[in-house]
Amino acid sequence: MSTQSTARKHVVVFRKIPDDLLERIREWHDVTIADPRRAEELPRFREALHDADGLIGSSFKLGAQELDRAPRLQVISSISVGVDNYDLACLKRRGITLCHTPGVLTETTADTVFALIIAASRRLVELSNHVRDGGWTRNIGEDLFGWDVHGKTLGVLGFGRIGQAVARRAALGFDMPVVFHDPFDVQVPASLAQHAVRASFDEVLRRADIVALTLPLSDETRGLMDAQAFSAMKPGAIFVNGSRGAIVREDALLAALDSGHLRAAGLDVFAVEPLPQDSPLRTHPKVTPFPHIGSATHETRRAMAELATQNLLRVLDGEAAVAAYDLSKE
Q: What residues make contact with ligand DGY under the rule CB under 6 A?
A: 58, 80-82, 105, 294-295
Catalytic site residue from 168, 244, 249, 314: 244
Positive or negative: CA dihedral 238, 243, 246, 247: negative
Alpha helices in 157-297 (DSSP H): 161-168, 174, 201-207, 227-232, 250-258, 280-283
CB count within 10 Å of CB 213 equals 24
Supply the minimum distance, in Å, between the C-beta of residue 105 and ligand DGY.
Answer: 6
Supply the minimum distance, in Å, between the C-beta of residue 92 and ligand DGY.
Answer: 20
Supply the minimum distance, in Å, between the C-beta of residue 232 and ligand DGY.
Answer: 26
- Give the three-state DSSP class for 30: strand
Counting other chains too, the contacts that 7-11 makes at CB distance below 8 Å and 24 or more residues apart are: 9/53, 9/54, 9/74, 9/316, 10/48, 10/51, 10/52, 10/53, 10/54, 10/72, 11/52, 11/53, 11/54, 11/55, 11/56, 11/312, 11/316
To the query of whether residue 46 is one of the catalytic residues in this protein, the response is: no
Catalytic site residue from 23, 27, 220, 273: 273
Instruction: Considering the complex, state which of residue 255 and residue 322 has its C-beta at the smaller distance from ligand DGY.
Output: 322
Catalytic site residue from 161, 169, 292, 301: 292
Supply the minimum distance, in Å, between the C-beta of residue 129 and ligand DGY.
Answer: 26
209: nearest Cα among 176, 247, 242, 168: 176
Instruction: Considering the complex, state which of residue 79 and residue 171 has its C-beta at the smaller distance from ligand DGY.
Output: 79
Strands 262-267 and 287-289: parallel
3-state secondary structure 41-77: HHHHHHHHHCCCCEEEECCCCECHHHHCCCCCCCEEE
Strands 75-78 and 97-99: parallel
Rounded (10°) CA dihedral 280, 285, 286, 291: 60
To the query of whether residue 244 is one of the catalytic residues in this protein, the response is: yes
Supply the minimum distance, in Å, between the C-beta of residue 84 and ligand DGY.
Answer: 8
Supply the minimum distance, in Å, between the C-beta of residue 51 and ligand DGY.
Answer: 27
Note whether 111 and 294 are within 8 A (CB).
no
To the query of whether residue 273 is one of the catalytic residues in this protein, the response is: yes
Instruction: Considering the complex, state which of residue 80 and residue 288 has its C-beta at the smaller distance from ligand DGY.
Output: 80
Instruction: Considering the complex, state which of residue 81 and residue 210 has its C-beta at the smaller distance from ligand DGY.
Output: 81
Instruction: Considering the complex, state which of residue 32 and residue 59 has its C-beta at the smaller distance from ligand DGY.
Output: 59
Which residue is at the shortest CB distance from ligand DGY?
A: 82
Instruction: Considering the complex, state which of residue 232 and residue 293 has its C-beta at the smaller distance from ligand DGY.
Output: 293
Q: Which residues are catalytic?
A: 244, 273, 292
